[in-house]
Amino acid sequence: MTMSQQTQLQQKAKELLTDKKTDLVIGYGIIETGHVGTIFITKPEQSDRLLWNEECVDNLVVYLKRKEVKKLGRPAVVVKGCDARAIAVLETEHQLDRENLVVIGMECNGIRARNLLQEKCKTCDVQQPPHCDFVIENPEKPVTQSDPANRYARLEKIMAMNTVQRLDYWKNEFSRCIKCYACRQNCPMCYCDVCVVDKNRPIRIDTSATLKGNFAWNILRAFHLAGRCIGCSACSAACPAGIDLDLLNLSLAKAAEEHFNYRAGTERNSEPLIGTFSPEDQESFIR
Amino acid sequence: MSAEPTATIFEPKVIAFVCNWCTYLGADLAGTSRLEYPSNLRIIRLPCTGRIDFNLIVKAFENGADSVLVSGCHPGDCHYTSGNFHARRRWILFRELLNTLGIDTERVHFSWISAAEGAKFQKFITEIVEKTRNMGPYSAMKEIVALSD
């Protein structure tokens, strides 16, 4: 008989904890508020709290960088295909002790937040999670019709505007930003101990939520992810103002693919895009 | 008492972030060669184009620049061997981001000007100042700044 993915996951977690292969399992579960959230499991008998369904929105890789999580010992983390790419990028940037990390990948059929299939899932090409130690297969194979070739199609709606309209669009979007930095906190790639916006000597970016400060912050956040963003959309999902931050990341991902044939997180042990160079890099705008 | 001028003539403000070893010396050469170029340029000298953070470009616009120039050594001539190669890769991506945001890429200029190219410096600066003058003040950005006070 076939077991559901959730049961398989619980068994795997139990096994890992019992065999002391890992000290901690970071997974999805029901939290105090009654919602699907993140749970941290340290004992085998807790593993039946682990949950897997279409509402597992968060990218749990984000917790691997946290000091308080590191203290708990060798972790195992539950990931979707998109999240798994974050592991590859962090590994490339020497941010993970991959030897002492267990990655449990879930074959994924698309994530629905408030019953709506997420945009990223419509063009997903990682229903089979890459870079994992274990993959928990879906007994009913993925059925979502995704269209990876059109992964940048969402950009067309803004790129069809002229420059002035585009600036107006972003002005309208960024005017809602309250500088809560939820986008940063939920991003698996933002791991600096002290973020530049938190440095106050010199103040590079307005600390209050002024329009110019919001522009500067969002430009900075997007560009620090250039060639690194794996498109998990955790930033967009976290944004309380509903700004489609993913569009900025997408435009940089598109640029990276067009100019350098580079997609972050698709390969393990690739070199970071920014931080390396080639004398043959081509451009047409430098005079 | 002299009468106030009725119409103010627009004088563009162009901020140039230049590398210490090539473009800055190129500007110096233009000066010592008595090559005249518009005084609308404000030069900010940095060690290397590799040091020129994209944030500086944003900051320049925040502080009222009508256009920005980033300039350094020709590829292969970097004083630090590879700073300009790193910079080039960064700019390729950064320009795409600016474009997506609707920030006018016609107002962000990049060039390679060596220490021997005083004449190129003069010619290029004249060209971008004139171009900016024709485009007029960057009012869209100034509006964002005005809304921020």
Give residue-wise pLDDT tens across range B93-125.
999 999 999 999 999 999 999 999 999 999 999
Q: In this structure, which amino acid lies at residue A8?
A: Q
Does B85 sit within 8 Å of A259, measured CB to CB?
no
Chunked mean pLDDT (size 10), chain A, 287 residues: 86 94 94 92 94 92 92 94 94 91 92 85 90 89 77 92 94 94 94 90 87 94 94 92 94 94 90 90 90
Q: How many H-runs (helices) and E-runs (strands) does chain B carry? A: 5, 4
Q: Does B145 touch chain A (CB under 8 A)?
A: yes
Closest CA to A82 of A282, A280, A249: A249
Asked if the C-beta of B74 comes within 8 angstroms of chain A's C-beta atoms, the answer is no
CATH number (domain holding residue B72): 3.40.50
**Spatial distance between the Cα atoms of A162 and A117, rounded to a whole number of angstroms:** 30
CB-CB under 8 Å, A286 with B111: yes
| Of A219, A255, A277, Cβ closest to residue B85 | A277
From A165, A252, A281, residue closest to B88, measured CB to CB: A281
Across the interface, do A219 and B54 touch by the CB < 8 Å criterion?
A: yes
The answer, yes or no, to whether residue B1 has pLDDT greater than 60, is: no
B136 touches chain A (CB under 8 A): no
Q: Which domain holds residue B113?
A: 14-142
Q: Which value does ipTM take for this structure?
A: 0.90
B98 → chain A, closest CA residue: A219
Decide if B4 is inside a domain.
Answer: no
φ, ψ at A102 (rounded to 5°):
-110, 125
Tell me the C-alpha distance between B12 and A78, whole Å. Answer: 55
Token digits of residue A177: 């930003």
What pairs with residue B42 in β-bridges? B15
- Looking at the complex, report in whole angstroms how far the Cα of residue A4 sits from the nearest Cα belonging to chain B: 43
Beta strands in chain A (DSSP E): 24-30, 36-41, 75-79, 102-106, 112-113, 116-117, 134-136
In whole angstroms, give the CA distance from residue B106 to residue B73: 22
Query: Which neighbouring-strand residues pair with B109?
Result: B69
Q: Measured between alpha carbons, how far is B32 from B121 in angstroms, rounded to an integer?
A: 13
pLDDT of residue B65: 95
DSSP SS3 for A30: strand
Rounded Cα gap, residues A131 and A81, in angstroms: 9
Q: Is residue B45 part of a domain?
A: yes
Q: Do B97 and A222 touch (CB under 8 A)?
A: yes
**Residue B80 contacts A where some CB pair is shorter than 8 Å:** no
How does pLDDT run across B22-74, given as a tens digit for each residue?
A: 999 999 999 999 999 999 999 999 999 998 889 999 999 999 999 999 999 99
What is the token pair recorded at B26?
């190129």
Residue A150 identity (one-letter amino acid)? N
Handedness of CA A271, A273, A277, A279 (dihedral sign): positive
Tokens, residue B52: 């020129």
Query: Is residue B147 assigned to a domain?
Result: no
Q: Is residue B5 part of a domain?
A: no
Helices (H) and strands (E) in chain A, counts: 10, 7
Residue written as token pair 């950064």? B94
Q: Which of B55, B88, B124 sits opposite A283 (nearest CB)?
A: B88
Domain count, chain B: 1
For an interface test with B, the pick among A156, A173, A215, A224 (most B C-beta atoms closer than 10 Å) comes out as A215
Residue B149 resides in a domain: no
Report chain B residues whose CB lies below 8 A from the CB of A255.
92-93, 96-97
| Chain B residues near residue A179 by CB distance under 8 angstroms | none
Contact with chain A for residue B146, Cβ under 8 A: no
Per-residue confidence band for B4, with pLDDT thresholds at 50, 70 and 90 = low
| Beta strands A134-136 and A102-106, pairing class | parallel
Do B100 and A248 lie within an 8 Å CB cutoff?
yes
User: Alpha helix (H) ranges present in chain A?
Assistant: 5-18, 67-70, 81-92, 119-122, 156-159, 163-174, 182-185, 211-223, 234-238, 246-260
Specify the residue for token string 């945001």.
B101
Is residue B123 included in any domain, yes or no?
yes
Per CB-CB distance under 8 Å, the chain A contacts of B95 are 285
pTM for this structure? 0.91
Which of A56, A57, A80, A75 lies closest to A65 in space, CA to CA? Answer: A75
Q: What's the rounded Cα separation, in Å, for the pair B71 and B24? A: 9
